[in-house]
Structure 1
Amino acid sequence: MAPLRQKAIVIKEDKTVVLKEVDVPKVGPGQILVRVIAAAQNPTDWKTLKTLDKPGGLLGVDYAGVVEEVGPDVPEGLRHVGEHVCGTVHGGIGPTGAFSEYLVGSAKWGVIPTPAGWSFEDAAQIGVAGFTAIQTLWEAQKGLPTPLAPTTTPIPILVYGGSSAVGFYTIQFAKLSGLRVLVTASPRNFDLLKEYGADELFDYKDPEVSQKIKAATGGKLKHAVDTISEAGSGDIIAAAFGEDGGHISQILWYPSPKENVTVHFTLAYEIGGEDFEHPIHFKATAEHQEYCEKVGKLLADILALGKVKPMPKLILPNGLASVEEGLGYMMSGKVSAQKITYRIADTPGVSA
């Protein structure tokens, strides 16, 4: 049985964080209570911290842990006590978040079984990155093959920002689907990204990067995933397309950079299958919730192939007590090709 109180990272009025003791959230209908073993950090964590005008919420979205309790109205056999799970919750907006000893989340949406052979520290990174990679490849792009039915025709696809967490998973999923994966990144990460499936790599700072990608694809590039979605990335991608233009999957919205270029914005929070007001207003429908279940199954099935690798981790030494340091490190722009990760048991005063 879970305790009544726990340590968690809480948003303060001055838009900083504090590690403090709070109530363990109560499991509700359709939910599970998870004992968090490891949590991973994402850019959305610091963006929520700086943009949300409602203090008191528990921060953190990505987690891996053990199911402690299954709430009412959870379909029989879907989840069970003791199950190892990983996924994402909408941290920062209320009394549950991944940077804590316990969290509550949907038993259906935004959660999958931990892949065989993956540690909790590895599985903690799957949530936002894994679900977003699914969205960018098969929601935002139409008709692309999946790793469950790969193509023998190497359709070119550009992954702009391959060193991001979303980039690592998008590269792997695209490669397993039989696609020809072109990637922009910093040259210092080229060798690493080749190990994860990148076929051709381009320096994103090269002023001729668009022309080089266009030449490499013979003007045939029509699909791109923009894992950065700022600093003019859309213009760079649009210039790499051929005369017929193409389609860009975005993780941050921007208008189409060119008349013959279409864009599609996806947001990982939508995979949670519930209404929310931050960072945008979103209303979940029954049809959307059915889609969320399909996305979760696809992600779980791809990982079950045993061919996807976790990205490199940077495990900070003091668990939740290191979150403030980790947020500052990420906000300074120093994170590249690694996932900041916290072991909850490393937190001073928390028992394993």
Structure 2
Amino acid sequence: MSTTNAALVQLEKQGPQTVSSTVFPVPTISDDEVLVRIDSAGLNPVDWKITKYGVFVDTFPTVLGSDGAGVVTQVGQAVTSHKVGDRVFFQAQIGNVKTSTFQQFAAVKATLAAHLPDNTTFEQGATLGVAGITSAVGLFTTLGFAAPWVAGATEANKGKQVLIWGGSTSVGHLAVQLASLAGLTVIVTASPQYHATLKTLGAAHTVDYRAPDIVDQIKAITKGTLTHAYDTTGPGSQPSFDALSTTEPSILAVINAADHVTNQAAFSNRKIVSLLGSSYANMQLAVPFWKYVTQLLESGKLVPQATKVIGGLDAIVAGQKDQMDGKVSSVKLIAKP
């Protein structure tokens, strides 16, 4: 096994990231972990936000990267679910360098190292971690819908509707599919060029998020009875909030802070809840969820987001710049450590 571990290292808060093979060794695994040789690492907005704004991580030097897929090269003594050579995908734990994916090797809890079926590429696997668990937490914890891997979920969700704002985002792409699989009626916003694709993924209704009368359109579709909405973007919080019922208890799930919602105090029946899309912070949900995702991939019932390979570790910073500049939409950038 290799004794070197090339990584994209950030030496200090808000400092530059540079490739090094000498700062962090190959991680040592615990009894309940597996060591993964990372083939593909997905770029997520949270990674560049950590560097730019100095949030979430306080210990440096560090390695970022939250999505990964690769091959198991070592298993802990207590692990019976995996063996050397297994293909897996996983989400890292922010701030825990040994799990990070902008490096060649990562240590992962075996219960969170989801098996990657042969019909799914490593690149596709590296799109699923952050977006998958964030979708699941939003729909099945924050909004409280019955999860589709639980018996009777579709019956429990029958007749219920959900607005998903941002169908072309990584989270939105998966949330539409998971909501549909759970038996929900899905209304999704996106640019018109994505509407046909979102319909194939399970959306019942698609709306142009730039339409000046979008709130009225959503109210017409839902007959003013919408009680559950999920904003995957940030800027969609205000119109999502405005589309909710004026009388029934209603909830808006958000990933980003919704302090720009200006009229929240005017509606005592509506509440906004921020969520954390972390497998490590939501173990009770995450463990059965990742087993379910493997089954969906095997059966072809879950379609991963489109990918674009940008190069090795040294290409990540330029890819993050494209994300910051708004040049990336409906595709996941993938690096090859």
Alignment TM class, shorter chain as reference: 0.7 to 0.9
Q: In structure 1, what is the Cα distance between the partners aligned to 2:224 and 2:249?
A: 9
Q: Cα distance, 1:78 vs. partner?
A: 1.9
2:9 maps to what in 1? 10
Give the structure 2 partner of residue 71 of structure 1.
76
- Give distance in 1, aligned partners of 2:269 and 2:118: 43
- CA shift, 1:301, in A, is 4.1
- By how many angstroms is 1:198 displaced? 2.1
Q: Is the 8 A contact 1:57 1:96 kept in 2?
A: no
Does residue 210 in structure 1 map to residue 228 in structure 2?
A: no
1:337 aligns with 2:330: yes
After superposition, give the CA deviation of every residue in 1:99-133 in whole Å (9 maximum; x if it has no partner). 11111121123x21113410111111110111111
Query: Given that residues 165 and 338 in structure 1 are in contact (C-alpha distance below 8 angstroms), is that contact kept between their aligned partners in structure 2?
Result: yes
For the aligned residues, what is the CA RMSD? 2.2
Q: Deviations over 1:273-325 (max 9, x none)?
A: 5xxxxxxxxxxxxxx64444233334444444431111111211x22121011
Structure 1 runs of 4+ off > 6 angstroms?
A: none
For structure 2, which runs of at least 5 residues remain unmatched after alignment? Answer: none
Task: Report the equivalent of 1:284.
Answer: none
Q: Is the 8 A contact 2:164 2:175 kept in 1?
A: yes
Match of 2:92 among 62, 65, 89: 89
The 3 A distance-change label for structure 1 pair 263 and 59 is same
**1:18-57 to 2 correspondences below 5 Å:** 18-22=18-22, 23-50=25-52, 51=54, 52-57=57-62
* CA positional deviation for 1:191: 2.8
Unaligned runs of 5+ in 1: 274-287, 345-352
TM-score, normalised to structure 1, is: 0.84
In 2, Cα distance between equivalents of 1:328 and 1:82 = 34
* Pick aligned residue for 1:98 from 86, 97, 101: 101
The counterpart of 1:139, out of the listed 138, 141, 153, is 141
SS in 2 for 1:125: coil
Are the equivalent residues in 2 in contact too, given 1:48–1:92 (CA < 8 A)?
Answer: no
* Deviates most, 161-170 or 50-59: 50-59
For the residue of structure 1 that corresponds to 2:6, the secondary structure is strand
- Provide the rounded CA distance (Å) in 1 between the counterparts of 2:218 and 2:326: 26
- Pair 343,171 (structure 1): closer, same or farther in 2 beyond 3 Å: same
The offset of 1:7, in angstroms, is 1.3
Q: Who is 1:308 aligned against?
A: 302
Match of 1:178 in 2: 183
3-state secondary structure, aligned to 1:150: helix
Aligned length: 322
Q: Distance in 1 between matches of 2:195 and 2:284?
A: 38
Query: How far did residue 144 of structure 1 move?
Result: 3.5
Give the conservation status (yes or no) of the 8 Å contact 1:226–1:248. yes
* Structure 2 length-normalised TM: 0.88
Sort the Cα spacing of 1:18 and 1:96 in 2 relative to 1 into closer, same or farther, 3 A: farther
Alignment-mate amino acid for residue 206 of structure 1: A
1:132–1:115 Cα change, 3 Å: farther
Q: Which moves more between the two structures, 54-63 or 31-40?
A: 54-63
Partner amino acid for 1:235?
Answer: Q
Which residue of 1 is the match for residue 192 of structure 2? 187
- Using the alignment, how far apart are the partners of 1:153 and 1:289 within structure 2? 27
Amino acid at match of 1:89: A
The CA deviation at 1:91 is 4.5
**Equivalent residues of 1:60, 1:92 under 8 A apart:** no
Contact 1:166 1:227 in 2 (8 A): yes
Contact 2:69–2:122 (CA<8 Å) still a contact in 1?
yes
Name the CA distance, whole Å, in 2 between partners of 1:218 and 1:320. 50
Aligned equivalents of 2:293 and 2:111: distance in 1?
13
Q: 1:326 aligns with which of 308, 319, 335?
A: 319
Please tell me whether the aligned partners of residues 8 and 58 of structure 1 are also in contact (alpha carbons under 8 angstroms): yes
Which among 247, 259, 268 is matched to residue 259 of structure 1? 268
| AA aligned opposite 1:315 | V
Aligned-residue sequence identity (percent) comes to: 30
1:293 to 265, 287, 294: 287
On the 8 A contact 1:64/1:85 being kept in 2, the answer is yes
Aligned pair 1:160/2:169, yes or no? no
Pair 1:272-2:263 in alignment: no
Segment drifting more, 171-180 vs 326-335? 171-180
